[in-house]
Amino acid sequence: MYGTLKRIIWAVLLLGGMTSTGLAEETPPIFYPMPAIAVQHETKNCGYDTVMISSQLEYDDQAKTERISAYMPKIMASVYAELKKHLNKEKSVSDPVIKQIVLSAVNGIVGQGTINDVLIMNVVHG
């Protein structure tokens, strides 16, 4: 009984990754590292803080790379302006806010649905 169950489990695992034409073909995502961005803003105590952010864009079609590269200066300018505005108002920033700002900038400049996700790699306050 145990041997039969073991064979069934192996068969399910092996066939789970199969399609009618053979192995399932999954296109791996493409990651585009954005240049790091530093934004200086006033703190609640009348001082200054610098936030340095590094992130990557995730998308699924290599053909989008050229378009993203061409618009990167404009994307970075938009991200900087929105982060500066947010930090001057809120005095702090979280990963979800950064992600939304970058996603909004890319979709607004390059086109809706161009990227699938934004990965926040590092946020440093200094």
Distance CA(68)–CA(35), nearest Å, equals 12
Q: What is the pLDDT of residue 16?
A: 57
Per-residue pLDDT tens digits for 79-94: 999 999 999 998 888 9
Neighbour tally for 56: CB within 10 Å: 16
By residue count, the chain amounts to 126
pTM of the full structure: 0.76
Per-residue pLDDT tens digits for 16-50: 555 555 555 678 999 999 999 999 988 888 888 99
